[in-house]
C-alpha cells in the first residue's frame, strides 16, 4: 500500500537513540566488563546520580547506603544496572510535547509493564535479558504517533480519551503496535524486542511458555487491569487466565508480579 509506505517513511524524522541506550541494548545479552561499564556510564555524571538515587530507593531495600556506581553494580548486578540505564535513557529520548498526551501516565505504565515482565520471566525461569527492555518499550508506537502524526493523535483523543487499536487503524491506517515495530526496526533493536512490541496487544500466534511476546502481552494485560476504575479479579479475566495458563503462572504469582511492577513505577518515577 503506497500511502502506508509513505507514512512509514516518516520514521527517518525520529530522533536518534542516545548512545548509552544503544550500547546497553547491544550488550544486554553479553558479558560486560565491570570497569568498562562504570567508565561508560561515568561519562554522564547526571546518569550516575540518577542511578545511585534509584539504587538507594526503598524498592531495593539495601541495608546500607550505596555510595558509588561500582558498588551499585556489584550489589545490584550488571543486568539490573542495565535495566536502570535503559529506563533512564528511555525517559529522555522522546520528549513528546503534545497538549493531549499525558507523558507521566505513559511513563508510569511503561515502567510498570517493564518490571512486571521481568518478574514474569523469573516466574517462568525464562531468560530475563530482554524482558525488562521489551516491557519498557512495548508502547513506543504511541510516542511515535504523537511525534510524527500529532494532528491525527488529536483526532483520536476527540473520538475517545481511551481510544484503542481499532480507532488508530481507522484514522491512521495502522496502529501503535505496527508503527512501534517499524520504529524498533529503524533503531535496530534486537529482533525479539521488535516482535514483542508488535505482539503486545493480541495473543501471540506463536505463544509458548518461553515466548517474550507472551510475557509482554501478559504483563500489559495485568497492568492495564489495575489501571481500570472497575478492575476485575484476575481469575475472572479470561484473556489473563488464558495467558497465565500457557505461562504456567499462578494467580498469586501474577498478583505479585503486578504489585511489583506498580511499586517499581511508583517509587522509581519519584526519583527522576
Q: Render pLDDT for 94-141 as a digit per residue (tens, 0 to 9).
A: 565 778 888 888 989 999 999 999 999 999 988 777 899 899 999 999
Q: What pLDDT, in 10s, does the model give residues 177-233?
A: 999 999 988 888 888 899 999 999 988 776 666 689 999 999 999 999 998 887 878
Instruction: Look at the chain and report how many structural domains it folds into.
Output: 1
Sign of CA dihedral 201, 207, 213, 215: positive
- What is the number of alpha carbons within 13 Å of residue 19 lying toward its C-beta? 4
Stated pTM of the model: 0.87
Length of the chain: 272
Q: What is the CATH number of the domain that holds 180?
A: 1.10.3210.10
The whole-angstrom separation of Cα 144 and Cα 140 is: 6
Which cell numbers in the block locate residue 223? 497492568
Residues 232-268 as b or e (16 or more Cβ within 10 Å = b): eebeebeebeebbebbebeeebbebbbbbbbebbeeb
Segments forming the whole domain that contains residue 148:
2-269
H/E segment holding residue 220 = helix 212-227
Amino acid at each position: 500500500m503506497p500511502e502506508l509506505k509513505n507514512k512509514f517513511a516518516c520514521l527517518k524524522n525520529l530522533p536518534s537513540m542516545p548512545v548509552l541506550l544503544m550500547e546497553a541494548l547491544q550488550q544486554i545479552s553479553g558479558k560486560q566488563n565491570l570497569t568498562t561499564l562504570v567508565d561508560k556510564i561515568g561519562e554522564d555524571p547526571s546518569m550516575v546520580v540518577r542511578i545511585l538515587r534509584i539504587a538507594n530507593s526503598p524498592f531495593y531495600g539495601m541495608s546500607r547506603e550505596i555510595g558509588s556506581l561500582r558498588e551499585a553494580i556489584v550489589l545490584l548486578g550488571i543486568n539490573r544496572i542495565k535495566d536502570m540505564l535503559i529506563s533512564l535513557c528511555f525517559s529522555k529520548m522522546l520528549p513528546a510535547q503534545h497538549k493531549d498526551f499525558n507523558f507521566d501516565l505513559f511513563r508510569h505504565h511503561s515502567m510498570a509493564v517493564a518490571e512486571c515482565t521481568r518478574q514474569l520471566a523469573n516466574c517462568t525461569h525464562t531468560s530475563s535479558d530482554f524482558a525488562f527492555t521489551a516491557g519498557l518499550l512495548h508502547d513506543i508506537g504511541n510516542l511515535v504517533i504523537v511525534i510524527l502524526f500529532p494532528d491525527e493523535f488529536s483526532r483520536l483523543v476527540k473520538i475517545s480519551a481511551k481510544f484503542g487499536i481499532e480507532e488508530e487503524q481507522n484514522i491512521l491506517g495502522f496502529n501503535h503496535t505496527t508503527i512501534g515495530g517499524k520504529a524498533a526496526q529503524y533503531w535496530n533493536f534486537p529482533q525479539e524486542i521488535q516482535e514483542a512490541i508488535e505482539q503486545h496487544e493480541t495473543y501471540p500466534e506463536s505463544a509458548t511458555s518461553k515466548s517474550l511476546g507472551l510475557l509482554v502481552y501478559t504483563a500489559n494485560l495485568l497492568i492495564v487491569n489495575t489501571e481500570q476504575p472497575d478492575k476485575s479479579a484476575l481469575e475472572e479475566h479470561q484473556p489473563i487466565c488464558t495467558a497465565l495458563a500457557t505461562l504456567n503462572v499462578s494467580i498469586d504469582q501474577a498478583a505479585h508480579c503486578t504489585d511489583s511492577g506498580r511499586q517499581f513505577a511508583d517509587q522509581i518515577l519519584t526519583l527522576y
